[in-house]
Structure 1
Amino acid sequence: MAAADLGAAEWERSKISNQDLNLLKKLGISKKPKALCFPSEESYPTPPMGYRVSFVDHLIRGLSAPIHPFLRGLLFVYGLQLHHLTPNSILHISIFITLCEAFLGVSPNWALWKRIFFCRRNGSPNVAYNIGGVVISIRPTIDYFDVKLPDSVQGWRKRWLYIREENHGCAEDNIPPFDGAEKILRRRSWDAEATEEERASTEALMTRIHELQNTRGKELSGIQITVYFLKSRVQPLQARKFPLWKYTGDEDVDRLSADLEVKDLEKLVRKFSSLSKKDSVPSSCRVKPYIADNALPEDDASEGTASAQSPPPAVSPKNKRKRSDVEDSGTSKPEEAAPSSQKAAYDPYLESLISSDDEEEIPTWMWLLERPMIKDLIRIGAQFIGYREYASKTEEKLAEANERANILAQKLEQSEEARKKAESDAIQARAEADKAKADAAGVEDLRKRLHDAETSLSEHIAAQSAREEAVLKRIRTQNRRFVTRTAQEFELEDPDNDPLLDAVSFLEFHGTEAREGIDQAKAGLSRLFLPKERGTRNFP
């Protein structure tokens, strides 16, 4: 199963700390006005006009704008953008450029690069990264400097920002336009090996590298090269006015800041490598680099000029270039050979026109390509072609965006229907809840009425018991009276079968009514039989 490419989904909101800002300030990367622009709340890079996307961990490892022509050539040949490279890959390129310019005395050499490095995809069997999706690795058969790189750089993908796009006199120094969703496609150039011709032309450089590694008492290491470019305060991956072999020290025009403090330098070296706090950090190189005060030997200078004219070609690596030594020197005529210090700028578009030529000799008209006006015309034409291709890609991406918009519209319609259904279900559920609540209220009312009835019944039973107790008390009283008159007691143990007790109880219950009737009868009789008042006539 192919690994899933995360693409644009891998980006998230940038998280740059105050410590990162202070480090960029110390290194001089943010010294120029508006050199850096920091994201606000966006979770996907949208660089302002004139800016490109970069990372804090790329900048502190030697990257600055305008970028070095060799780096731009690598991106062109490998078909990559800056965010495709890991911080360790950026450091590999910085060390290589520093090695070539300061210790070999040549411009970065594409043939030498192919002998040492190759590209591979970064990821797992199930996931292929887009940010940092390509790793530059040393060929296992090559004896190269041990850089002691860390296994991984934690959290670097979240520390992205915008750097101001600049050029160094030509448009080729610009950083390629940003496309965070562009898929990484493996190319044959990723693992292209040096041809026999290139191996022969770089054999002396490889020998020199082995000497730098193995000369007793003067061994050079990848850590020492890293320390050197950090102490020089020159960004190796920046397009500079002069190469490192012309470095003039504190007053050099390409320096970005003053010397770093020892503790800051050691902290950076440990950040770039797997060195622990117990490991010592070299304070200087055992080999004196080529600088203005330590000029290149004349023989090395002439060899360096020739080897420097082998930047990454703009076509498939299988196309071999067979050019005369005069052409390799970057001159139009043998008698007009340039000094060794003048390195020809890498023009990938011009290289793409001549690198596919398989003839032993170059036609005469090809020398016209070296003229400034023709080169400008070629550059403009190539840029036009590039813009046309970019416009074509933009149209394709616009069509993809429209298709995605249609899909999103369908999903939005489906979600709207789902929302309406959810609202309807919610209304029905609310009605059922209200009904259940009303039923619960009815049950509660019945429970309350039942409780009131039980309470009333209990009170009635208590009142009845009290009344019965009062009746029983009065019966006992009547019993004492009755005994004195009749010498007979009530049967209080079994009152239900005692007729006398029943009669007394009846009399007790209805005695009041009887007494009222007797009183009324007496009154009536009195009115009938009492003598008439005086003054009345008595009849016989």
Structure 2
Amino acid sequence: MAAEDLEWERSKISNQDVNMMKRLGLMKKEDAIRFPSEESYPNPPMEYRVSFVDHLIRGLSTPIHDFLRGLLFVYGIQLHQLTPNSILHISIFITLCECFLGITPNWVLWKRIFCLRRNGSHNATYNIGGVVICVRTDVDYFDVKFPDSVQGWRKRWLYIHEESANSVEHNIVPFDGSAKIQRRRSWDAEASEEEKKATEALMSRIHQLQNTRGKELSGVQITAYFLRIRVQPLQARKNPLWTYAGGNDANRLSNDLSVKDLEKLIRRISSLSKRDPIPSSCRVEPYSSTNPLPKNHPTMDSLPPLPEGGDVEERAVVADDNQEAPSFVNEPADSRKSAGSIEKDAASEEKMAAINERSNALAQKLEQSEEARKKAELDAVEARAEADKAKADAAGVEDLRKRLHAAENSLSEHIAAQAAREEAILKRIRTQSRRFLNRTSQEFELEDPDNDALLDALSFLEFHGSEAREGIDHAKAGLSRLFPYFFPKKEEPATFLNLAKCFDPPEDLGLKVRQENMKVAVESTVALVANSQQTIDWAKVGDTEQIEQSRWRSLIKAAKPNTKKILAYLGIAPSSTPSSSRPEV
């Protein structure tokens, strides 16, 4: 029984799958998707192709991207022959090129990373999903975390409307379920030395994206990104992803998915479990309208070759998977020979001789090829050793680059901290200058400013300090002279601050001294009168309430002419300062 008869059966698409495709915007157009009815073998309508739910949720949509069209043509395969993980490989590659390398999907770069292999079991070779896209063993590529198996994906098939391309020959071939998968030379197509040289910078950038400490990019992050922005990588689009403009982008198929739907979808198409966190964003900012490509960013256009009036050489079919040389088989001859048969035998012998000669030539070429193979193996060993050395050197350079980057960051942080410290000092100096100006009303101007905010502010502070020190010196000298008069029985304090506090008591020092002097004068007068043995009614004299203030003033005024005589009698030199006539008791 044919393999395709074993595989195709009636499509079983659940309501949950339909609702998911609606939320993804894949059914926005009325004729974009058609579901099979009861047929157990695909029979797509005109302009429709056979695909699967698991293809669509991994980035496939129509019209199909030119890069995918080219891959299907070059490899000689149909859409239904690719596995879901292979579709995701192509979606991640296109997103990587447009969002993180800033180029259109590059065919040469693809050849350096990927190759194709058959997919089957011991008993049968699959037709549905019979081709697998694999990362080459010698290439370090992103860890996509594919699931071990995609359960039941072959049963969820449907029809997608393939809009016509620019020309009919560029459309993907119509569905043919009976077509056998044949491995072609293009499945292992490698880049030439010139092509490798042209894409070496891209390979280095991919290595940097994978291995930059703290900014590692993974296949899961890239997958989550194109699912989050709601753009299908495998759909032909008006603008590349490096111009993505957010919620209003023309390429978006739907609104943002809810967090629950997004996490559920990512876990469905990857091997992440419920315990594994889903990346909320990429550690490397993708190119977009808010993070445009740098100026003079190189462009590298390279699409898989599409047909131009006929097949291309890369579509040549390999005889079998082992690529063995054809063997020659001799058929047995009949023992009864006629004359005609003898002539035929002679002709056969000539042909046989020619065949033997060709066989000898082929054997000689095979021997030469064996020698060339051994030499190629030796060259490959040497090249591998050189590559390992180059990789080690590159690792050393990368380590130096990282250390230099860390030193630059440390220097930048130190400069920022120093600038912040200087700004804080400057702020404090300006505050002190304003306080001094408010207290002294003394302003200064710099004759030769340094045009340095910190130094100029310090110069003003020095001027204020000189002014303050000179004022303190004068104040201390004056207060020291006054101190014995106000505090005759105290020792003068050593510091200016304590000296100044002595002259700032709660009571009025001048009034206190005058009252003390008045007390002395009254007591002296009383003693003088008592010594003169005159009869005085001191009760009347001391009763100030009985005498009006004007009366007191007239008495003091009448006594003034005798003041000098009284002081001279007491032995006190009169003061040159006129005394006050105001009574202070």
TM-score range, shorter chain: 0.5 to 0.7
Aligned equivalent of 2:200, options 203, 218, 227? 203
Matching of residue 120 in structure 1 with residue 79 in structure 2: no
Code of the aligned partner of 2:303: P
- Name the counterpart of 2:543: none
Aligned equivalent of 1:148, options 145, 149, 161? 145
Code of the aligned partner of 2:214: G
Code of the aligned partner of 1:97: I
Give the whole-Å Cα distance in 2 for the aligned partners of 1:167 and 1:235: 18
Aligned equivalent of 2:186, options 189, 192, 216? 189
CA drift of 1:8 comes to: 4.1
Equivalent positions of 1:179-258 (< 5 A) are 179-258=176-255
Equivalent positions of 1:108-507 (< 5 A) are 108-167=105-164, 169-171=166-168, 174-300=171-297, 303-304=298-299, 307-308=300-301, 310-313=302-305, 347-349=306-308
Q: Secondary structure at the match of 1:128?
A: coil
CA drift of 1:173 comes to: 5.8
Q: Is the 8 A contact 2:210 2:216 kept in 1?
A: yes
CA drift of 1:10 comes to: 1.6
Aligned equivalent of 2:73, options 50, 53, 76? 76
Give the whole-Å Cα distance in 1 for the aligned partners of 2:98 and 2:215: 18
Give the whole-Å Cα distance in 1 for the aligned partners of 2:9 and 2:254: 32
Q: CA distance change for structure 1 residues 171 and 283 in 2, over 3 Å: closer, same or farther? A: farther
Q: Deviations over 1:410-451 (max 9, x none)?
A: xxxxxxxxxxxxxxxxxxxxxxxxxxxxxxxxxxxxxxxxxx
Code of the aligned partner of 2:202: L
Q: Deviations over 1:136-183 (max 9, x none)?
A: 011111110000001110100000011112135554663321001110
In the comparison of the two structures, how many residue pairs are matched?
A: 314
Q: Is the 8 A contact 2:11 2:158 kept in 1?
A: yes
Give the whole-Å Cα distance in 2 for the aligned partners of 1:173 and 1:161: 22
- Name the counterpart of 1:424: none
Q: Is the 8 A contact 1:72 1:172 kept in 2?
A: no
CA drift of 1:194 comes to: 1.2
Give the whole-Å Cα distance in 1 for the aligned partners of 2:169 and 2:257: 32
Q: Is the 8 A contact 2:23 2:254 kept in 1?
A: yes
- Name the counterpart of 1:11: 8
Q: Deviations over 1:112-156 (max 9, x none)?
A: 001111100001132100000000011111110000001110100
Q: Deviations over 1:336-355 (max 9, x none)?
A: xxxxxxxxxxx5427978x9
Give the whole-Å Cα distance in 1 for the aligned partners of 2:170 and 2:247: 26
Code of the aligned partner of 1:86: T
- Name the counterpart of 1:389: none
Q: Is the 8 A contact 1:312 1:348 kept in 2?
A: no
Q: Deviations over 1:168-207 (max 9, x none)?
A: 5554663321001110000011111111111101100000
Code of the aligned partner of 1:165: E
Q: Is the 8 A contact 2:170 2:307 kept in 1?
A: no
Q: Is the 8 A contact 2:23 2:257 kept in 1?
A: yes
Q: Is the 8 A contact 2:33 2:158 kept in 1?
A: yes
TM-score by length of 1: 0.56
- Name the counterpart of 2:560: none
Q: Deviations over 1:11-36 (max 9, x none)?
A: 11000000000000000001111211
Code of the aligned partner of 1:207: S
Q: Secondary structure at the match of 1:250?
A: helix
CA drift of 1:103 comes to: 0.6
- Name the counterpart of 2:33: 36
Q: Deviations over 1:448-500 (max 9, x none)?
A: xxxxxxxxxxxxxxxxxxxxxxxxxxxxxxxxxxxxxxxxxxxxxxxxxxxxx
Give the whole-Å Cα distance in 2 for the aligned partners of 1:211 and 1:266: 27
CA drift of 1:251 comes to: 0.8
Q: Deviations over 1:285-315 (max 9, x none)?
A: 0111111221111232xx22xx22x2223xx
Give the whole-Å Cα distance in 2 for the aligned partners of 1:233 and 1:351: 37
Q: Secondary structure at the match of 2:296?
A: helix
Matching of residue 65 in structure 1 with residue 42 in structure 2: no
Runs of at least 5 residues in structure 1 that lack an aligned partner in the other structure: 314-346, 357-540
Q: Is the 8 A contact 1:53 1:160 kept in 2?
A: yes
Q: Is the 8 A contact 1:7 1:182 kept in 2?
A: no
Give the whole-Å Cα distance in 2 for the aligned partners of 1:351 and 1:261: 47
Cα RMSD of the aligned pairs, angstroms, is 1.8
Give the whole-Å Cα distance in 2 for the aligned partners of 1:125 and 1:9: 14
Q: CA distance change for structure 1 residues 115 and 81 in 2, over 3 Å: closer, same or farther? A: same
- Name the counterpart of 1:99: 96
- Name the counterpart of 2:20: 23
CA drift of 1:7 comes to: 2.5
